[in-house]
Amino acid sequence: MAEMKTDAATLSAEASNFDRISGELQRVIQTVESTGGDLAGHWRGQAGAAAQQALTRFHEAGQAQIKALSEISQNIHGAGIQYSSADEEQASSLSSQMNF
């Protein structure tokens, strides 16, 4: 298995990427829902009901993706904080052992 190297800044940048993707997804969802809302008055019968159900499923799936992206971002941010804390503890321990 390949060795993984990282640092707190890299983790923070990657968490921000997930936040950016989530924001982009939210804008796409809003655009689709706005378009669906504009067209809703023209939908009739079974086709109209099917279109409304499709928009509802789209919204639910989008919200699930946004939630997952948010959780990933939070986990990466948390890992960065833990990484920094562990790095500082190790540096402090090494300094005290070497009488720096």
For residues 15 and 72, give the distance between their C-alpha atoms in angstroms, rounded to a whole number.
7
Domain holding 36, by residue range, is 1-98
Give, in order, the Cα–Cα distances in Å from 54 to each of 28, 32, 50: 15, 11, 6
Q: For position 60, what pLDDT does the model report?
A: 97
Tens digit of pLDDT at every position of the chain (100 positions): 677 777 888 888 999 999 999 999 999 999 999 999 999 889 899 999 999 999 999 999 999 999 999 999 999 999 888 877 776 777 677 677 777 6
| Residue 28 neighbours by CB under 8 Å, 6+ apart | 62
Full-model pTM:
0.75
Q: At 94, which CATH number?
A: 1.10.287.1060
One-letter amino acid for residue 50 of the chain: A
Q: For position 71, what pLDDT does the model report?
A: 97
For residues 9 and 24, give the distance between their C-alpha atoms in angstroms, rounded to a whole number.
23
Half-sphere exposure of 52 (CA within 13 A, CB side): 10
Q: For position 91, what pLDDT does the model report?
A: 67
When divided into structural domains, the chain yields a total of 1
